[in-house]
Amino acid sequence: MGVVWGVAACGGDPISFRGGRIDALSAGPPGVPVPEQDIETFAEKFRLQGFNKAEMIGLVACGHTLGGVKSSDFPDIVQPPPDHPDEEEEFVGFFDGTHAFDHAV
């Protein structure tokens, strides 16, 4: 996925990409790691799902590079800007405010 985004950001030809997953055969443990947890607990939750620390860091880093955070989930981290049209409407804050695939976060 990094190559696809990197080439596109540099104006290169489109590269076909098919994302997907392998569906689980049974439910995993409830809950997901949250920012308030200490690093040992956080790493243990990922270990129980079959990930090592390097994979954990890769997943978290990519998630925060490509994803966003909902204000309803983390109001202390993400507040809607003053000009947000509707206080009741969900606001998603992105860690990268440039909305470009680059290093300027």
Where do the domains of the chain lie? 35-66, 68-105
Token pair for 44: 């243990």
- Residue 19 is predicted with a pLDDT of 75
> Which pLDDT score is estimated for 52?
92
Per DSSP, what are the bridge partners of residue 29? none
pLDDT of 86: 64
**pTM more than 0.85:** no
pLDDT, residue 104, reads 59
What is the helix, strand, coil percentage profile of the chain, to 5?
30, 5, 65
Q: Which two three-digit tokens encode residue 85?
A: 């049209």
Residues of the chain with pLDDT under 70: 21, 29, 64-68, 80-81, 84-105
What's the pLDDT score for residue 74?
75
Q: Give CA–CA dist 74/93, Å, rounded.
A: 10
Q: CA 66, CA 89: separation in Å to the nearest integer?
A: 22
